[in-house]
Amino acid sequence: MIRSDVDLSSANTLGLPCRAERFLATDDIGSVRDALRQAVKQGWPLTVLGGGSNLVLHPWLPGLVLQPTFTNLRFEEAGQGEVLVHVGAGLNWHVLVEALAERDLWGIENLALIPGHCGAAPIQNIGAYGVELADVLEQVHLLHLEDGREAILGRDDCAFGYRDSIFKHALENRVVITRLVLRVSKRAQPRLDYGDLASRLPAAPSASDVAAAVSAVRREKLPDPAVLGNAGSFFKNPVVSAEKARMLLSRNPGMPHFPLADGNVKLAAGWLIDQCGLKGLREGHVGIHDRQALVLVHHGGGSATELLALAQRVVGEVQARFDVTLEREPRLMGETAR
């Protein structure tokens, strides 16, 4: 049933105040299609909301907010030691990571403790500790918002990039993701070459061992959204040319940098922000986390406008010091007033 004037303050991990004009949470495809038809007929703007973990919400979301809650999980043998995992878009991502790790299925253990629902994972092409969703994604099942038409996209159709996909461009605000299919492996394939991950693990770790180690690292560095409102990494790690990287390294010999296959170089946004002396900064109701400068936090009582003003300050100071432009990672939704 569609509800009116619904408080979404607890439905986004930043805990920003937001109300939806209309709201429907459902795990029924028929109900989703009915809601889409009604939205089109009434001319309602339509917003699809997952776990609210990669969003900055303004105070008002007009039209209809649709939250798919499909949580089905099915395993299909694919031969040659591989398994296809069919997972509903509404399942919590970390719950999925734990379910696969317990079965010693390899592929997403490095993505442990990333907040949000599975349906949001392809939008962002979530990644951590040397692994991205694109490494294991087989299919995305979706419905087109304008007519409820079902479609299936393969990995190559998704135009994945660094924290990027077709869902941020040609299909932005045009589809609702209902299901993912992932291809994982029964064979041990640990990826431990990122940070100090290997030093935390035994010589022959299980998938559960890796997921637990990644979770421990994340808990040490990142605030729990249930305790301190945040959307995880607020800025993408910027990518610069090799020439620009050489120039920056000549001035900053200790700068973390990661050469990419295309010849460009990825920089660490958190390090750049930290060098500007901004870690731990608080401005009113918002601030920068004191252990991870990449994370902007909401202490309560603030607004999206306040948070975005702080983000703009960070962008400006990094630009002024390093001539590097930071790009916001969370999506911005809603309106400032009714």
115: phi then psi, degrees, rounded to nearest 5 = -75, 160
Q: What is the dihedral of CA 302, 14, 19, 303, to 10 degrees?
A: 20
Catalytic residues: 163, 233, 329
Phi, psi of 243 (to 5 degrees): -65, -45
Instruction: Find out whether 324 and 318 touch, Cβ atoms under 8 Å.
Output: yes
Full strand arrangement of the beta sheet holding 286-288: 229-233, 295-298, 286-288, 282-283
Q: Are strands 82-88 and 131-132 parallel, antiparallel or unpaired?
A: unpaired
* Nearest CA among 278, 274, 277, 234 for reference residue 254: 274
Strand, helix or coil for residue 312: helix
Sign of CA dihedral 238, 241, 246, 250: negative
Contact 100, 85 (CB under 8 A): yes
- The helix or strand, by DSSP H or E, that contains position 267, with its residue range, turns out to be strand 265-267
208-214 contacts: CB < 8 A, separation 24 or more? 208/98, 208/101, 208/102, 208/104, 208/109, 210/101, 210/109, 210/110, 210/112, 211/97, 211/98, 211/101, 211/109, 211/112, 212/112, 214/109, 214/110, 214/111, 214/112, 214/113, 214/128, 214/129
Phi, psi of 7 (to 5 degrees): -75, 125
